[in-house]
Amino acid sequence: MIAATLGLAACGETFTAAERDVIHADGQGIMRVLSIDIEADSLALREESLPMSESLLRTEEYALLRERMLQTVQNPEAEGVGIAAPQVGVRRAMIAVQRFDKEGEPFEFYLNPEIVERIGEKADGGEGCLSVPELYGNVSRWQHIVLRYRDEQWVEHTEHIEGFTAVIFQHEVDHLSGRLFIDYLSADGFEEPIAE
Just list the catalytic residues: 172
Name every residue whose Cβ is closer than 8 Å to that of residue 141 and which is 6 or more positions away in sequence: 122, 123, 125, 166, 167, 170, 171
Torsion 92-98-101-103 (CA) sign: positive
Backbone angles phi, psi at 110, to 5 degrees: -135, 130
Vertex 175 angle, CA 171 and 180, to 5°: 70
* Maximum pairwise Cα distance, the chain: 62
Torsion 182-135-117-143 (CA) sign: negative
Amino acid at 49: S
Amino acid at 80: G
CA distance 158 to 112: 12
